[in-house]
Structures are given as C-alpha cells and as structure tokens.
Amino acid sequence: MACRNSACSCCGHEHNHEEENRTLVVIRLISGAILFLAALFFKINYLFLISYIILGYDVVINAIKNVRHIFNESFLMTIATFSAFALGEFAEACCVMLFYQIGEFLSDYAQDKAKDSIGSLMDLRSDTANLLTDAHFETVPSEQVNVGDIIRVSAGEKVPLDGVITNGSAYFDTKALTGESVPRLFTKGDEVLSGYVSCDSVIEIKTTKKYDDSTASKILALLSDEKKARSEKFITRFSRIYTPIVVLFAVLIAVLPLFFGGEYKVWLYRAILFLVVSCPCALVVSVPLSFFAGVGCASSKGILVKGAYILEKAAKIKNFAFDKTGTLTDGKFCVRSIDSIVLDGKELLKYCAYCEFYSIHPIANAIKEFYGKRIDESLISDYREFSGMGVSANVDSHKVEVGSADFLKLQKDERGSVYVSIDGVFAGSIKVSDMTKAESKSAVLLLKNLGISSFILTGDTFENAHDVSDELNIPFYASLLPQDKISKINELKKSGITAFAGDGINDAPVLSIADVGVSMGKIGSDAAIESSDVVLTSDNLEKLPVLVKIARKTMRIVYENVILSISVKMAVMLLGALGIATIWLAVFADVGVLILAVINSLRAFLVRD
C-alpha cells in the first residue's frame, strides 16, 4: 500500500522536474539565438544550420513521428523552413523557428502555473477514531470503524466519520465543510459530518457511514477526480484547417501548370515561395504572446491567472457564483442590530458585554468589541458558562443571562441572535453576523454592467444568506454542502460559462468544477488556492470585473492578430502564385506581419481598473 504522504513527495519531484525542463529550454533558446545572431553578423551558413538544429529539432521530429497526421503546426513549420533553406534563405528559416519556440515557451510557462495538488486538504480527514469496544474506548484506524459503531470525539478533535450524536452536546466548528464561521450547536439526535471539529465538549456518535463514504472523503474524491481539461492550443485547432489548405494549394501551384506547358522550375519556385509565406509565424508567436501579455497585465493588478487558456474562458463568463462567508463578507462578526424591550439599547448592550466578559466565543467577542468601553470586572460575579447554551453572571447586583432562546426558555429563535434576560425578565436581543465587504456591492454592479449575472452559494443559514442577498440584490442558495454547490454550479453552467469565487477548504471542489475558479489569496486556504484558476492577492472583489475586461481585450487582440496575419498572408500568397511577389515581399508577409502582431499583442498590458 502506498504511503499517503507520497503524494506530496511526488508533487515535489514533479515540480522540480518541471523547473529543470524549463531551465534546459531557456538554455536551448539562448544558445540557438546566439548562434543565429553570430551567423547573421559573420554570414556563415553552417552556423544557421546548427542554430536551426538546436531550435527546431523537436519540431522536425514531431512532424516525422506524426507523418500520418501531417496537418499540424509541426508539419507546416518543417515544410516551410525546409522550403526557405531550398531557396537559400537560411536566416529566414532560423528566424521562423526561433520565434516559434519563444512563443511556445511563453505559452507553456503560463499554463504550467496550474497545479493539481490536493495535499493541503488531507487535514480535513481524521485517520484515527476513538471506538467503543468492550465497555471502553480504543484508538483505531478510521477505516476499521463500521456503520453502527459508537465513537467518541473530544473537544478540539475532528469528527472522523459521519454519524448521529447519541450522548452529549457541543458547539462544532463547521467551516471546513460549510464555510460558516460561527460554531453551531449540535445535540443528541443531530447528524454531524466528518470534518467538523468539536469546540467545547466530549460527545458520542453512532456512525452512519464508513470512512471512505463519509463527507470528508467524498470531498477529497471530488477534488481529485474533477480535473479540468486544458484548452486545446489555438494554433493547433487553426492548423487543422489552415495547413491542409496551404499544402493543397502549394501542390496545385507546383503541378497543375505543368499540364498546360508551364516551366517546372518557375512553378516549383512559386510553390516554395507560397509555402514560405504561408508559415504561421505571426500566429504562433502573437497568439500566445497576447495571452501572456494579458496574464502579465492581470498579475500587475493583483490578479494571478493560472494559465493563459483561463483568459479565453474568462472572456465568456455569463454567470458568477459567490461563496458568502469570507468572500462577499469579511468573515468577522459584529453587531448588526439591538432590539431592546425594557432598557435603552446602550444599557442592554452594556449588560450583555459585562455578562460575556469571560467568554471567548466569537459572538461574545463581537459584542464586547462593539461595546468598546472598559469593563469593570469588580461589577461581575458568579459567572457561569453553560456549554452550548449561554452564560450567566451577576452584573452590578442584577442577574443577567445571555444565550440561545432555549437557554432563556423563549418560544422564538432567530438565527444569529443572542437573547438577554435581566433579573428573570426578557430584556431584548442582539443580532450578530458577519458584515458584507464594502466592495461587494460595487463588484456585483460592475459585473452586471458587463452582462454577467451573480449568485450566492453558501453553507450558511437561510437567514444570514438572505441578509446579504437583500443588501446586494442578487439571488442566493443557502445551507449547501460542497456537493450541493457543485450541483448548482452544474445547473448554472448549462446557461453559459460559469465562474465561482470562494476562499475555504470547503470551496476547493467547487472551484475545481467551475469553468473559472477564483480564490481569495489573502485569507483563502491553500486547498482553495491550489484548486482555483485565478487568485486575488488582495481579496478585493472589484478585481473580478477587471479580470473580465482584461480577458475580453486579450481575446479581441487575438482575433485582430489572426485576421491581420491571415489576410496579409493570403494576399501575398495569391501574388506569389501569380508570379508577382518576390522573396522580399514573402519575408515581409512573414516577419513584418509578425512584428505588427507582436506590437499589437503588447496592448493587452494596457487595461485600466
């Protein structure tokens, strides 16, 4: 059986191997370029030949290996450069291959940024469980626990398998699965999922699923199985149409006139000239360079795009789905409102802050921070904390109780609210939830102006999601587990290219399945970042419309270069076939258009926020 840690080792070796290969390619390009320049300067033809071999041996080998499938860019590059040699244009042949290899290097370098590592997700699962055997608990591998067994989870431990609580109650940190930052109370009879972490109590669970079928294992399986296929390179798709047409016309130019008394050498020369002009150098360089410039522009604005092909997808985004906690909201809890019945709101807040003074619960911390004044501990006595329920204390000779509706024996219970009782009389409630980021509303509006619809997909409750939805005026889906989010993403994908933005471990499978996955780099988990296509280094959602603008401009430039290259080449190829064009015009059609296309490609760097 393979060691689980071997995945990390393999990833490391693979990464080192990629770095070594990239270094060798750079050395190859530099040495080939130096020989090419030396040949130009000293006018030594055999240096051109050596330079060509260094730069283009793999292209020629690929063309020979795929001789049965000749209509690819390798075949066209080979036949075009061989034709240039036949015409005595050694510099042209080397220049074509040099620029081709530079373009391939830039394109491959950008795409190699994408990683499939899921090593950081391994912490989601617990490899061991405390299993009840013969009236005592024994630590065993989680794989040995069967459905119906009783396991124990102590405070601070992860739940190893899905199950139902049979004894005890506790607050659980569920954010690894749901993204919800506030711990949730689970009591006897409630279902808990593998990956949850007990915050404060010891509980016993009757398992309902085996280890490999539990939620945490399924999430890992989703992430590893749902791998994006890389977009096929544009030039490869283009060559399937362009190359056979070019070769067919070249053959017709060389052979057909002979049946009508044409001179063999004249028409062969024109056919070779036709092939030289047809070399798609401008395309094979300008297309990847356009993408590379777009990626560079995005990087300069704090938008890291993992692969040039992602820009092609981003330019066509129709739907943008967002996780809520930590993405649309800042993940930090604060007081939203105070509903006081018998006291002034400030007085109710004061009593609540004093009563919560010794609590370290996130909601208690939010209340104390919102109160913002120094708390006189001498006014607090008889503090008691009731696990999973609330706290009580004597505050300035008044008995104060703060906690859930059940704790205060109230009929109502609004999610995100804590209830306050003073001297046995219900005094009011304080609503606490995470706040929407300042830039979320403007980001959603800017996306709308670009014709993109926005949605909220969250593991948080309906009430909390509804508040954010109302604030941003976009539809929402709440209480979703990762597999539920994936289902929603697949539904949205039916209407067009769909992007998803998230930040937590629980978002990693969704980021992987979305057409374009965007993670928050500053606060996002390693798993989310590794699974995504785009990382926002500043977590500023206003960068999302900028990403779409960059992608759309990049694609416009790509189409401009394609039209420019093809139209000029077609015109010169026609002139060459008619005997009007010379080798110098052929060089312009190739190198001149290349220069124009490269200059145009660099415009992708120029996109305003």
Residues 35 and 48: their CA atoms lie apart, in Å, by 7
**Residue 505 · residue 121 · CB < 8 Å:** yes
Structure tokens at 183: 């711990």
Residue 184 carries which DSSP code?
A: E
Pick the catalytic residue from 149, 162, 323, 467.
323
58 is an active site residue: no
Q: What is the amino acid identity at position 402?
A: V
Q: What is the amino acid identity at position 408?
A: L
**How far apart, in Å, do the first and last CA atoms of the chain sit?**
52
The answer for residues whose C-beta is within 8 angstroms of residue 69's C-beta and 6 or more apart is none
Structure tokens at 415: 């999610």
Structure tokens at 449: 């102006």
CA-wise closest residue to 468 among 455, 449, 485 = 455
The DSSP string of 226-272 is: --PPPPPPHHHHHHHHHHHHHHHHHHHHHHGGGGGT--HHHHHHHHH
* Residues comprising the chain, all counted: 609
Residues 13 and 27: their CA atoms lie apart, in Å, by 21
CA-wise closest residue to 346 among 427, 435, 464, 433 = 427
Q: What is Dmax (Cα atoms) for the chain?
A: 118
Angle in degrees, CA 121, 125, 131, rounded to 5: 170
Name the helix (H) or strand (E) containing 149.
none
CA-wise closest residue to 534 among 318, 325, 311, 322 = 311
Residue 491 carries which DSSP code?
A: H
**Residue 545 · residue 444 · CB < 8 Å:** no
The DSSP string of 303-364 is: EEESSTHHHHHHTTEEEEEE-IIIIIEEEEEEEEEEEESSS-HHHHHHHHHHHTTT---HHH
Q: What is the amino acid identity at position 304?
A: L
CA-wise closest residue to 196 among 210, 209, 213, 178 = 178
Residue 178 carries which DSSP code?
A: H
Three-state secondary-structure class, residue 399: strand
CA-wise closest residue to 561 among 608, 599, 607, 605 = 599
**Catalytic residue annotation:** 323
